[in-house]
Chain A
Amino acid sequence: MMKQKWLYFGVLTALFLLVLFSLGSGLWGSEQSGRHWTEKLFYGVCHQMPDRSFTFNSLPMAVNSRCFGIFFGLFAGWLTIPLSYKLTFKKTWPVKLLLFAVILQIIDFSGNYLQLWVNTNLSRALLGFLLGAGASLSIGDLFYNNNSKK
């Protein structure tokens, strides 16, 4: 039996809005002057460099490709919590996946910083997706009672 349904659906809604807002002015309409409100929303958590961001309707998104991957991964992972609990309940692999995704992020960022390789918007988004999905899946089993059937 799923518990804390209000919390689950509240966070699901918030993550859905997070993904929608991160699409930026291409979805929400560009403003005549000043910084778009979606860019203000994510300013504290993302460098928002246009050449490291996907475009939506020909306009750069409000977050870079890695952040968009993380947000979308968080949302997608959260969405699958009710479906995947048989695979994740009392299992350690989701936490291992999260750790693996964190290590991959560090390796990818460091390699690019040290000019060992050049990552792309797609590769950054995919690695971000893995991190976000891993974070959501790692806490998914907390929404089920300890005495739930596997």
Chain B
Amino acid sequence: MSTETPTTTEVATPAPGDAATKKTLGIGFWICIGWLLVMVFIAVFATRLPIPDPKFNFIEPGQAGPSKGPSAAHWFGTDKDARDVFARTVYGSRVSLTVGFIAIAFGMFVGGTLGILAGFFRGWIDRIFSFMFLVLLSFPSLVLAIMLTALLDRKLFTISMILGVLAVAPVGRLARATTMQYADREFVIAARSLGAKNKRIIIRELLPNVAIPMSALALLGMAVAIVAEGGLAFLGLSVERSITWGGMIQLGSDSSKTLQNQPWIAFFPIGVLFLTVFALNFAGDRVRTYFDVKEISL
């Protein structure tokens, strides 16, 4: 086997004429950003919005079964405990967005730092860090996440950190590859010959160049983290005693009867989760083609 890591992929560049002809982010990008801003808004101001209490049981006397379909009073209907699905979806965005944001921030910081150091100093530092990334990538991410949630607690911050650890290796590899690409360029040599120290070269010369492809990865990585959190929540392994989209979907689909008779319980959170992940993916992809990032490793 070659000494080069066996899991490296160079995903081919977009076809000529695909992106080169038009160098704008496009209307789709801004629609996606708009949706994400709406999500952030409702997550931040969930308690102030004029929506029903997500934990209140809306049981009316003389009614068969607590769960009802969408109506003017309950836009997304009510679930098996007669709680408002719309309000719960709004509150569910809090966990998803927090986890997504903290996870990718952690991944960017740790992975980015390790990757840049590995790419800049090379030698044994590179070998150690690259091996670390390789070990992390040897676990399918959901398996690693499940294992860690089993060992640690299920607080919001812990879950975010666990998913952050998963982001370290892909981010680190991208940062390493990009740093290597720039480390021998003229402007770095120029800075060095002017007497710049390593620290200055890394922060002032390399970091701005590495940050661009990483910004595309940030959006894609956030999507991955949100999906992973949803998966954990769906399996009952995410943040305890909180409203999560994954948990709501699980509630709406745990028996085929529920799914058949009250599909709205599962399908509204699925829809919102899908739109959010789609918006992040699409925006991330646009940013990537816009800056013409050649390599992804996610």
- A-B interaction: no
Interface set of B (CB-CB < 8 Å, partner A): none
